[in-house]
Structure 1
Amino acid sequence: MCWRRYSNAVRVLSVTIIFTFFCQAALAVRITESHYQGRPHFIIETKLATYYFDQAGGGFSRLIDNDGKDWIEFKKEPLESFPASAAAGFRGMPNALFGDANPDNGGGHPGFNQCKSYVVDRQSIHTQTKSGRWAWTWSFTETTATMVMTKADPSLPWWFLYEGPIAGSFTPKEKYWGTDKGGPRRDVPAKNSQYYDHIQWAYFGDINSTKVLYLAQHQPDQQIDTVWYLGSSKKGSAKAVDGMLVFGFGRGQKAQPQLTGQGQTFTVGLLELPAVPALDDALHGSLQSAVTQALTQPRYQPKPSVALVYRPLAVTDPMAFNGIIAFTNPATSSNKEASNQRSWSPLELLAPHLISLSKSNILELMENLQAEPGPWPEVLKQRLIVASQNRAYPQADIIRAAIGRQARP
Structure 2
Amino acid sequence: MSHTRDNWLTSLFRVWRREFYLVFHDLGVMLFFFALPLFYPIVYTLIYNPELIRDMPIAVVDHSRTAPSRELARMVDATDGLKVYQYAPDMEAARRMMNRKEVYGILEIPAGYARQLGRGEQANVTYYADVSLLLRYRQALFNLTDLQMAIATRHQQEKIASGGLLLQDIGGSPIDSQSVMMGDPTQGFASFIMPGVLVLILHQSLILGVAMLAGGSAERRRRNGGLDPMSVDAPASATLIGKTLCYTTIYIPMALYALHFVPWMFTLPHLDSMLDSLVYILPMTVAASMLGFCVASFVTEREASLMVVVFTSVVFLFLSGLTWPRYAMGSFWQLVGGFIPATWGIEGFIRLNSNGATFAQQSHPAMMLWGLAALYFALAWILTRRFGLFAGARRTSPRTV
Q: Using structure 1 for the length normalisation, give the TM-score.
A: 0.21
Larger strand percent: 1
Higher helix proportion, which one?
A: 2
| TM-score, normalised by the number of residues in structure 2 | 0.22
- Which has the bigger relative contact order, CA under 8 A and spacing at least 6? 2
